[in-house]
Structure 1
Amino acid sequence: MPFVIVLVALGIELSPAHAVITGPILAAIPALAALAMGPKATLSAATGAFAVTVTTATLHQSWGGQVYSNLLSLLVVSVASVTMSNAMRTHRQSELDQVRRVAEAAQRALLRPVPARLGPVRMASMYVAAETGAQIGGDLYEAVQTRYGVRMIVGDVRGKGLAAVRLAAVVLGAFREAVHYEEELVEVMNHCAAALERECTVPSAVDADDEEDQYETFVTALVAQVPDRFVVQVVNRGHPPPLVLRKGKVEALMPVSPLPPLGLEEFLTVRPAEAESYLFAPGDRLLLHTDGVIEARSPDGDFFALPDAMEAVHSCRASEFLEQLHKGLIRHTEGCLADDAAMLLVERLGDEGNQVGEADASSSHRPL
């Protein structure tokens, strides 16, 4: 806008309407530029206003007290505006740096990077927030070594923003506590459900503006366990099924009895007694993910084919596997993710002491 005003003033001065005095308007240009532009742009706008004033005064031979007064005003306003713009820019950058430090600290506390090795598995994780400038959102994941085996969780909170982050923290906190004390994986999931229910029924925990949405709050979640045997045990509450990559082929671990997400307990007609078990042999890779990955759309509206993408990069090392999937996801969406996306990779390592047990006689990806 400041540059447009400068051009309009120049047009007036070069037209028959040059009798209109544009000097006072041009003197305000640097102040207008400083509101939204940096010091360099403000200085450029001031230079343009100065050039128009000098050029038109010379062209119309109108040098005099009014012109000198306009130039002096322009000089004073320019110096003040550039100084103010630089100070505001420094202040905004300082505030932004502080917000980023807080966000990084929150991310480290909420979504801690998983260890590269836990017991009998090799692991990697990745999280991409859809919201511009955000580093954390409603997706969650965690992996913990316990006396029962390696236990993991991946989940997705309905909604976005700080409310989703708060509920993700509640579920993660319950998981981190329960995994060390509950022998049954089902009970670990029950603890997460109870924590979410308590959080959603506490009046102070619900913002007045979100009062209507408290009855629609739910979290899709999946907890998995890799014990010493060559199996993986899964409890799935409305979450996308994990994918197993074996010898270059991908299959989904579909639950035998689908269960509703956490927070929708009224639809839970039968509570599961135990986790479902699947074969998980040495060399197999298990991918836990959120729906932000499989529901990512291309500009043409096509969903991201995660199984095909996994098969295409099956020969990559575990450390590069997620990075290649991330690059494929970004290419597919052309960098425009509509939802947060989280992935947790688990690779089963060989162990001569482990036993496949019942899995030998069963289909590779059917519950044992």
Structure 2
Amino acid sequence: MIIVLNRNDQNTIDELQEHFGNNHDIFVHHNRVAVQGITRDDLSDSEKSAAVEIIEDVPAAVQGSRVFHPEDTIIRTKHSMIGGDNFTMMAGPCSVESEEHITRMAAVAKANGATVLRGGAFKPRTSPYSFQGLGEEGLRFLRRAADQYNMDVVTEVMDDEHVEMVGKYTDIFQIGARNMQNFSLLKAVGRTNIPVMLKRGMSATVDDVLNASEYIAAGGNHNIMIAERGIRTFDNKYTRNTMDAGVVPVLQKLTHYPVIIDPSHAAGHTEFVTPLGLAGVAAGASGLVVEIHDDPAHALSDGPQALLPEQFKELSDKAFAIRDLLTEMPAEQAEAGR
């Protein structure tokens, strides 16, 4: 249940916390108080009379819900603002292969509008014999490259034992699709104050990913963004996954968290990355996370879906142009143009 109070009604908030705090989870956002597991009948007369609105049909992912938190969450890092009216480009190779290579890719990413450098130092691979990443050495290379070009870092953390170590190098934790429901890991990043990019699992519903985000929020970390990277459907003959562009407005209706599109993992093939990325931008995504490489044929992981520098420039130019069109065109002009 969510009780909506008049602004600045701290007395009723204190009363609700005293009344229910010992036996129920309680969350407060400005003048909205969410109390798990109660009904209207459990409220005192004074609590009922203080309520402007009582909302009983509340989703399980209450802290991520627009009903509880109507405003957009805006995540602020040293070099980026993610969410709201902001558009954020994130780019880099799938894996950190060497310090020289990640530095070259950081230069390409920064020159084409990216403020976040991506790269994997720990790689969850389908085969145990595939390249698994450089580990902490890769994190050091990634951090130095990002700092050289005044960029933030996003990199994957694969288990709760690595959270502290990865946290020393990254500005944003990435939770990969395979780990979306690794609840011990979600709890661990939830106990930090480092922003989290939560990727939707390949077979996850909208409610699944929202409930996964709640594990992070329940730990106190509300700097969450949700990434759509394609889901597994009946047809993966031509693309690696099926990108659900429609999930962007759906998530924006249901949650206040920024929604990011990962067209590289959705496409699986370079030729489809740009059109899928642009579709995500047109759908209203808060940003893109894209894989780039200057020699994809010899990449140590996911070369077939990496954009060459000139291809990334084309995607970035078009993405920012679409975003500018969406945000700057007055509503009456858009209506007149129909």
TM-score by length of 2: 0.25
TM-score (norm 1): 0.23
- Determine which structure has more spread, i.e. the larger CA radius of gyration: 1
